[in-house]
Amino acid sequence: MATASAAAQTAGAASDPAGAMGPSSTQPPVAVVCIGMAGSGKTTFMQRINSHLHSKQTPPYVMNLDPAVRQVPFDSNIDIRDSVNYKEVMKQYNLGPNGGIITSLNLFATKVDQVLGILEKRCLPTESAPSHTVPKHILVDTPGQIEVFVWSASGAILLDSLASSFPTVIAYVIDTPRTTASTSTFMANMLYAISILYKTKLPMILVFNKTDVKSELEAVEWMRDFEAFQLALRKEEEEADESGIGGSGYVGSLLNSMSLTLEEFYNHLSVVGVSSMTGAGVDDFFNAVEDKRQEFNKDYKPELTRRREEREQQREAKREMDVSRMMKDMAVGQDSSKSKPDPETVSDAEEEDEESGGLVERDEDDEETMPDADQGLVRRYQDALKDGGVASTNEDASFAKYIQAAGMNR
């Protein structure tokens, strides 16, 4: 899977002239995860920002997480299609297109540790090679079915794992002509943006794409000015009444209430207008990415660190509980005479002595060393559990079992 992609990256880096990766930096690259509805121009946007970074002599590290795409207009260093066959997944698990994408992402998520290992090796400077040139950006393309990546367990695992090692920014790509065509479409996009923001808990940039067809100024005005959106909503209702296709007014009342409630949430989001065809606004986008990098390090990283420490404490407590339960079950360190019931008769005692081969005389030295042996056994069990023993193995295998169960249920 990732080994071939890493080898391709190594070959590509070797063919680049010296310094093609740009000057080395002590700070890690920022990961830009592109998310957008189908038809929003997300893949074309990925191609544009990738080309822009290459023109600046700072080529990014690119990941493709769309298993169903036939071809992409950019080269990927890590491609999900190298490890998961989308059509075979659909055939083996008897799934449809969306189910096949979800299952493919679930299978890929089981190798997230390998993916992070490659990313950290290629994109982070090491102590042994501090001058190692690293990219400044990691670009991640996601499936066109937005709910597949955002709401699935594998999408959360991939995002959390990525954010644990690199500053991560969500680029939510919006189709500007379609969004400004009606107030209901605009409100739907804003609801999606807010839900993704609070689901991922990562910095977000709203990218109004296709500004060469329609300017983003109207949509931005609707975001920033509540009265402007109300005016556009009333205008739509009047046009619908004049044409005789007006509804019961429920939709207009709902949009009015939602805009009043949600305005304080979405009017503070960072907004950039971009044309993936002409390249207009790409510089503004990367300026916003740098601002979000600082925001991630200042506001989001401490929260992620706190949550990670809580998870580590919970895992450590669970390991200690498992060790205690195991030692209790094995009765390690307890006197065998106390745990063993006394025979009721002399004949019973004689039978036990015969079964055990007779009485055994125990030296005093042996009695003194028994507690140390028990303690050593306890330490070995604790070390085994901490190094990936019973508890951690069950935890690592739980997600794979979940995937298999999900596949069987389908």
Per residue in 237-289, pLDDT tens?
888 777 766 555 677 788 888 888 888 788 778 999 999 999 999 999 999 99
Q: Three-state SS for 341?
A: coil
Lowest mean pLDDT among 122-126, 269-273, 336-340: 336-340
Quick one: pLDDT at residue 334?
55
Q: Given the DSSP bridges, would you call strands 78-79 and 61-64 parallel, antiparallel or unpaired?
A: parallel
Residue type at 287 in one-letter notation: N
Kind and range of the H or E run holding 91: helix 86-93
Virtual CA dihedral for 82, 84, 86, 88, nearest 10 degrees? 120
C-alpha–C-alpha distance, residues 166 and 161, integer Å: 9
Pairing of the two strands 270-273 and 204-209 = parallel
> What is the pLDDT at residue 51?
95
Tell me the three state secondary structure of residue 111.
coil
Tokens 């990313």 label which residue? Answer: 119
Question: Are 16 and 152 in contact, with CB atoms under 8 Å apart?
Answer: no
18 band by pLDDT with thresholds 50, 70 and 90: very low
Cα–Cα distance measured from residue 146 to residue 343, given in angstroms and rounded to the nearest whole number: 70
DSSP string, 215-246: -SHHHHHHHH-HHHHHHHHHHHHHHHHHHT--
Task: Please report which confidence band the pLDDT of residue 127 belongs to, taking 50, 70 and 90 as the band edges.
Answer: low
Query: Amino acid letter at 345?
Result: T
* Residue 382, token pair as written in the block: 């604790």
Mean residue pLDDT of the chain comes to 78
Count of positions (residues) in the chain: 410
SS3 204: strand
Among residues 137, 16, 7, 30, which one has the least CA distance to residue 78?
7
Q: What are phi and psi of 161, to 5 degrees?
A: -65, -40
For 155-167, b/e burial (b = at least 16 CB within 10 A) is: bebbbbbbbebbb
Phi, psi (deg, nearest 5) at residue 358: 95, 175
Q: How many CB atoms lie within 10 A of CB 2?
A: 22
| Entry pTM | 0.70
- Residue 20: phi, psi to the nearest 5? -65, -25
In sequence order, what are the residues at sequence separation of 6 or more whose Cβ sits closer than 8 angstroms to the Cβ of residue 183? 222, 229, 232, 233, 236, 255
Distance CA 3, CA 141 (A): 19
pLDDT band, very low/low/confident/very high, at 219 (cuts 50, 70, 90): very high
Mean pLDDT of 390-406: 50
Per-residue confidence (pLDDT) for residue 275, from 0 to 100: 95
Give the pLDDT mean for 17-29.
52
Q: What letter does residue 83 receive in the DSSP assignment? A: T
- Run of H or E including 32: strand 30-36
| Contact criterion met (CB below 8 Å) for 396 and 112 | no
Burial of 358 (0-12, 13-18, 19+ CB in 10 A): exposed
- At residue 13 the predicted structure's pLDDT band, cuts being 50, 70 and 90, is very low
Q: pLDDT: is 266 or 215 the higher one? A: 215
Q: Are strands 137-141 and 61-64 parallel, antiparallel or unpaired?
A: parallel
Segment 157-183, tens digit of pLDDT: 999 889 988 999 999 999 999 999 989
Residue partners of 157: CB distance under 8 A and separation at least 6: 109, 112, 399
Decide if pLDDT at 24 tops 70: no
In whole angstroms, how large is the CA radius of gyration of the chain? Answer: 30
Question: 61 by DSSP, 3-state: which?
Answer: strand
Mean pLDDT is lowest, of 127-136, 259-268, 344-353, for: 344-353
Rounded CA gap, 230 and 369, in Å? 84
- How does pLDDT run across 314-324, given as a tens digit for each residue? 888 888 888 88
pLDDT at residue 17, as a whole number: 32
Query: Residue 212: what pLDDT?
Result: 95
Greatest pairwise CA separation for the chain in angstroms: 107
* Sheet containing 168-175, strands listed edge to edge, beginning at the edge strand earlier in sequence: 78-79, 61-64, 137-141, 30-36, 168-175, 204-209, 270-273
